[in-house]
Amino acid sequence: MKKLLQAAGLSLSLWLAGCATAPSPSSPTSSLPPPPPESAATASPAPGLPAMVPSGPLSPITPADAPSRNVASMQPPADLWERIRGGYAMPDLQSDLVRRQEQWYATRPDYMQRMTDRSRKYLFHIVEELERRRMPSELALLPFIESAFNPQAVSSARAAGMWQFMPGTGRDYDLKQNFFRDDRRNVLASTRAALDYLQRLHGMFGDWHLALAAYNWGEGSVGRAIAANKRRGLGTGYLDLNMPDETRNYVPKLQAVKNIIGNPEQFRADLPVIENHPYFDVVTVDRDIDTALAAKLADVALDDFKALNPQLNRPVILAAGTPQILLPWDNAKVFQRNLAEYSQGRFATWTAWTVPGTMSVAEVARRVGMNEAELRSVNTIPPRMLIKAGSVLVVPRPSNRQEDVASHLADNGQLALAPEQTLRRTTVKAGRKDTVATIARRYRVTPAQLADWNDVGTSAAFKAGQQVIVYVPVRAKAAPRATAKGRVAPAARAKPVVKSRRR
């Protein structure tokens, strides 16, 4: 048995030595043809060796023929412009309209400079999102066309934000629009919604130029234009369709900016260096905090803070509705450190208050202890308007209030206004058992208004026959009465009128 094992070990050693020294298939000294495939399959294993160990000669390995490819450079793009150029994937639009738009932009270097300077805050995030979705990188230039990269831009048609969402389309893509914030201006939310929308449109039309036309003109309009051309036997490409001038020039504008970014030397464009690095970081907010204090804790100018958080409508960030803010990359850690160490007072000096009944601005200001002008400014209330019952306002936060604004208010609060009525002062006699409440109900005013007009409390009672001041709406002026002889009777002299807004 011992001899048998020694013999097996010797056979295995010789076989392994043969493997190590066998000439390679590419060696010029190898002239032996490969054995037929069945030779290895039919060979018998050496006595005493496990069947898994091959005993016949090994077939030489022939390298597969593969086309030679250049190895891609691992060097990262020098700046964000280079990264954008490297991701261009849309077909170029060839048209005289593009040449005209190139000329327009190239002859306005100051305008281009302002746009590109603004874009440095947002471009990296947009490019990252496009690459993650495998979308063409030239779509990152679309806010140049939509808003000149101004996240506060509002069009005459009420489209808002960097991506210019209409109110209805914004709601379709989950962009909240309430008293405290407008997510059409939110950098993260609006970018997500815009790319979702563009992907959907590209899926509908199968063409990026048509998808962009639909983004500007509406998917229904583009669909109808395509159907009309099909009925006439005409082409259905972007340049074939009959469309408004704004949409006709929309893609040429994007193509022109794409060309300028792609070859700035040709157009003598001086592009600012934008590093291929995030401009901002996302910071979680877990408590209500004044916007001015948040900017201070981050060591950021208030205007710069608002440029990164343009969705905020009020001077307070409500954690229940806006749990994240954007801060410049290096300032994010500064904010978190200063927030943890802050001990100089309250984080929020503002809170939300629901108006119990329709009131004038003056009444609300007295109720919450504010100056009327400040109340109008903070809550954006125009002149000659009443605040309707159920509206939500930002008011000073009482010093003894600990809780933050609830999520149902932070997410759904709205300000509803009504035209301020012109009222006429009159007096009425109180009847037996009349109170502020009964007379207010009779004349459809609030008890608070009636009490204010008569300098009494809202629970006061009047004596029978007591004169009570009431302000009632002035009726529409009646048409003059004609006399029997056809002459127009003079109108009765009007009594003095006052506005319902009384100090």
How many Å apart are CA 398 and CA 222, to the nearest integer?
54
Instruction: Tell me if residue 113 falls in helix, strand or coil.
Output: helix
222, 150, 219, 229: which is closest to 184 by C-alpha? 150
E strand or H helix at 147, and its extent?
A: helix 142-147
Instruction: Tell me if residue 461 falls in helix, strand or coil.
Output: strand
Instruction: Kindly state the DSSP code that residue 500 receives in the 8-state scheme.
Output: S
Residues 219-257: tens digit of each pLDDT: 999 999 999 999 999 999 999 999 999 999 999 999 999
Backbone angles phi and psi of 332, in degrees to 5: -60, -45
Strand partners, 417: 387
Average pLDDT over residues 360-385: 95
Residue 392 near residue 409, CB atoms below 8 Å: yes
Residue 496 has pLDDT above 70, yes or no: no
Q: What is the pLDDT of residue 74?
A: 65
Residue 61 has pLDDT above 70, yes or no: no
How many Å apart are CA 294 and CA 309, to the nearest integer?
11
Residue 309 near residue 282, CB atoms below 8 Å: no
Residues 120-144: tens digit of each pLDDT: 999 999 999 999 999 999 999 999 9
How many helices (H) does the chain have, and how many strands (E)? 21, 11
**Catalytic amino acids?**
146
Q: Where are the beta strands (DSSP E) in 270-355?
A: 280-284, 289-290, 316-317, 324-328, 350-354
The angle subtended at Cα 394 by Cα 282 and Cα 308, nearest 5°, is 25
- Percent of the chain scored above 70 by pLDDT? 80
- 202: which 2 tokens? 């590209």
How many Å apart are CA 444 and CA 437, to the nearest integer?
10
Helices 96-106, 250-262: axis angle to 10 degrees equals 60
State the average pLDDT for the chain: 85
Residue 84 near residue 127, CB atoms below 8 Å: yes
Strand partners, 182: 177
- Is it true that domain 350-419 has CATH number 3.40.720? no
Residue 320 has pLDDT above 50, yes or no: yes
Strand partners, 312: 181
Q: Is 63 left (phi over 0), alpha (psi -120 to 50) or beta?
A: beta
- 419: which 2 tokens? 């035209």
Q: If pLDDT is split at 50, 70 and 90, which confidence band does 369 have?
A: very high
Residue boundaries of the structural domains of the chain: 80-262, 280-341, 350-419, 422-476+493-499
Q: If pLDDT is split at 50, 70 and 90, which confidence band does 73 have?
A: low
302, 390, 295, 296: which is closest to 352 by C-alpha? 390
409: CB partners within 8 A, 6+ apart: 318, 320, 352, 354, 392
How many Å apart are CA 274 and CA 127, to the nearest integer?
12
372, 360, 342: which is closest to 471 by C-alpha? 360
Among the residue ranges 234-248, 322-336, 466-480, the one predicted with the least confidence is: 466-480
How many Å apart are CA 16 and CA 46, to the nearest integer?
14
E strand or H helix at 470, and its extent?
A: strand 467-473
Q: What is the pLDDT of residue 44?
A: 42
- 420: which 2 tokens? 């301020």
Whether 350-419 and 422-476+493-499 share one fold: the answer is: yes
* Burial class of residue 294 (count of CB atoms within 10 Å of its CB; 0-12, 13-18, 19+): buried
Q: What is the pLDDT of residue 72?
A: 53
Residue 485 near residue 461, CB atoms below 8 Å: no
Q: 422-476+493-499 has which fold?
A: Membrane-bound Lytic Murein Transglycosylase D; Chain A (3.10.350)
Residue 307 has pLDDT above 50, yes or no: yes
- The CATH code belonging to domain 80-262 is 1.10.530.10
Among the residue ranges 24-38, 88-102, 164-178, 381-395, the one predicted with the least confidence is: 24-38
Strand partners, 431: none
Q: If pLDDT is split at 50, 70 and 90, which confidence band does 77 have?
A: confident
Q: If pLDDT is split at 50, 70 and 90, which confidence band does 450 have?
A: very high
Residue 262: alpha-carbon gap to chain centroid:
27
Instruction: Tell me if residue 317 falls in helix, strand or coil.
Output: strand
How many Å apart are CA 307 and CA 151, to the nearest integer?
7
Average pLDDT over residues 135-157: 97
Residues 264-290: tens digit of each pLDDT: 999 999 999 999 999 999 999 999 999
Residue 309: alpha-carbon gap to chain centroid:
10
Backbone angles phi and psi of 214, in degrees to 5: -70, -35
How many Å apart are CA 204 and CA 272, to the nearest integer?
37
